[in-house]
Amino acid sequence: MKRLAIIYLMLLTACSLTPKQPALHDFGVQPVSPPVKLVGKSDISVDTPPWLADDCIHYRLLTSSPTQLRCYNLDTWIAPPAELFKQQLLASGKFSNQRLHIQLLDFEQQFDSPTQARVVLHFIADVYALDSNRLIATQNFRLEHPTATADAAGAVTSFARLTQQAINQLQQWLLTTH
pTM of the model: 0.81
Q: What's the CA gap between 129 and 117, in Å, rounded?
A: 39
88-125 tens-digit pLDDT: 999 988 888 889 999 999 999 999 999 999 999 999 99
Are the beta carbons of 76 and 25 closer than 8 angstroms?
Answer: yes
Residues 19-29, mean pLDDT to the nearest whole number: 78
pLDDT on residue 116: 96
Closest Cα partner for 31 from 149, 164, 154? 164
Domain boundaries, the chain: 40-176
Q: Where does residue 26 fall: left (phi above 0), alpha (psi -120 to 50 degrees), or beta otherwise?
A: beta
As assigned by CATH, the class of the 40-176 domain is alpha beta
